[in-house]
Amino acid sequence: MEKIDCLKNTPVLRDDERLELLAKLNQTFDGEKIGVNTLEGGNLPRRGEILTIINKLLELVFPGYNDKLFSLDELSDFFANEIKELELLLFDQICRAMKHGCKGDNCADCNISMQAKESVKKFLSNIPDIREMLKLDVHAAYVGDPAAMSYDEIILSYPCIKTIAIQRFAHLLYLDKIPLIPRMMTEYAHSLTGIDIHPGATLGQGVFIDHGTGVVIGETAIIGNNVRIYQGVTLGALSFPKDACGMLIKGKKRHPTIEDNVIIYAGATVLGDITIGSNSVIGGNVWVTESLAQGTKITAKLPEHYVKVGK
């Protein structure tokens, strides 16, 4: 059989054709500047650096589970080194995020630099607490899943641990009103695991999300302690309040509050600024748009809705 050699190093376009195409492409940058990010002005946080930061944070809370391996003796040195690198990386990205789109008197370089340093300090100081929270999340997965064989298996392979860890870090930056970076972080987690938790959502202790693909947890959702959630669950908004001009009002509480010890089974949808009382159980595929008292169990009365044909 003849050997193929498709790649011939000759350009496809004539020079004039290429120039015409480039002229048309450049025109799309006239007028509205949607989708241009250059070195000038407030250039944006960089996806690659955000990923590096996320991976360093995950190494700090679960050391040795990812790329690097070291002995117990080296652990303190490893931490010291990672923290130093995180200081620089976080400062650079947070500074960019703050400068980008900043308006008014607070945007002088010295001001932004000072604010960014404060934000980095505050963020770093929370890492030990986040690690304590994540231990409880790992334990919640262990007691919540009959297929889980060990803590190590959960840390190595359960998608919820990675997602929740990243969201807990992103939430710190969200609370500190850092633009852009929190959502970049949670979307990285979403891309890895199919679990989409907005950085604004407030998560309690010992949250377990099993399987997780398709889970959506909205910006103003509040989740209590020891809550268990399965794949395909939405904690969403029922409707979006608009202002007098018909534009959406941003930031208003519009997602559910889930109290302690609630279980929400696969595919259930809980919408609006409602409260699901503690110890409630919401069955699979159930649709909830009003508050439930503590201890409510709600399941779909399904069989009579089905038509069976055949034996």
Residues 1-40 touching a second copy, rule: CB under 8 A, are 1-4, 6-9, 11-13, 17-18, 21-22, 24-29, 32, 34-40
> What number of other Cβ atoms are within 10 A of residue 69's Cβ?
9
Sequence-separated (6 or more) residues with CB below 8 Å from residue 74 = none
Q: Under the criterion CB under 8 A, does residue 285 sit at the interface with a second copy?
A: yes
As a whole number of angstroms, the distance between CA 264 and CA 228 comes to 6
Q: Under the criterion CB under 8 A, does residue 88 sit at the interface with a second copy?
A: yes
CA distances from 272 to 208, 222, 268 (A): 22, 12, 14
Q: Under the criterion CB under 8 A, does residue 91 sit at the interface with a second copy?
A: yes
**Within 223-242, which residues bind a second copy (CB under 8 A)?**
231-232, 234, 236-237, 240-241
**Within 40-69, which residues bind a second copy (CB under 8 A)?**
40-48, 60-67, 69
Is residue 179 within 8 A of residue 100, CB to CB? The reply is yes
Q: Under the criterion CB under 8 A, does residue 302 sit at the interface with a second copy?
A: yes
Binding mask 137-176 for a second copy (x = CB under 8 A): -xx---xxxxxxxxxxx-xxxxx-----------------
Among 132, 197, 210, residue whose Cα is nearest residue 166:
197
Stretch that binds a second copy, among 79-87, 221-229, 256-264 (CB under 8 A): 79-87
Is residue 96 within 8 A of residue 42, CB to CB? The reply is yes
Closest CB 204 distance from a second copy, rounded Å: 18
Size of the site for a second copy (CB under 8 A): 158
CA distances from 167 to 188, 201, 229, 244 (A): 10, 8, 16, 34
Candidate list 53, 57, 134, 172; residue touching a second copy; CB under 8 A:
134
Candidate list 30, 76, 110, 245; residue touching a second copy; CB under 8 A:
76
